[in-house]
Structure 1
Amino acid sequence: MTEKHSLKYPVLSDKDLVFAHKLGIVWEQPAAMRGIFSASGTDQLKRTGRDTLELPVPATMLVGKDGLVKNIWADPDYTTRLEPTAAITWIDEVNRSDGN
């Protein structure tokens, strides 16, 4: 992601859902979904990197230079995401509180 979009900041990922499990933002799809995925030709392992029906709740976190989570947004409705302007406001607030 960082290379693809020439980002100037690190993008963290949690491929194995270790952090998501610690945060309690993982849910498991019903077992019936395996049949639906199979019938539609969806390879769960290829799609998620895991052969599990677990998915994280969509979340955005701002992690400070000190490694602490400064703000978090999560919504179980996967069709909603944090507005980019809200993320920019978070960054501005953290920068002001850090004296930058």
Structure 2
Amino acid sequence: MKSISRIPRISKAEAVLILITMLWGGTFLLVQHALTVSGPMLFVGLRFAAAALIVALFSMKVLRGLTFLELKAGVFIGTAIMLGYGLQTIGLQTIASS
């Protein structure tokens, strides 16, 4: 009698990675839809503002101890990331996501 091949089991970590990948991929569709009602830089700016508020709520104690140099570095890094996301979002306006 032939044995029936089993479907390989995946670990919990692999299942979480698959779920996160699906959610991350789905955000491109959401971003493309959101761009129909707003510009790319406004959209990215709102995303960053929402993220900053959430981080500030949970990190106020740590944020109070920032030095000027750390704040300056954070602004520089944040600006670079915002430009990257902004350019990516502008690109999403010109291509179809599937």
TM-score by length of 2: 0.26
Larger Rg: 2
Structure with greater proportional strand content: 1
Higher relative contact order (CA 8 A, sep 6+): 2
Structure with higher helix content: 2
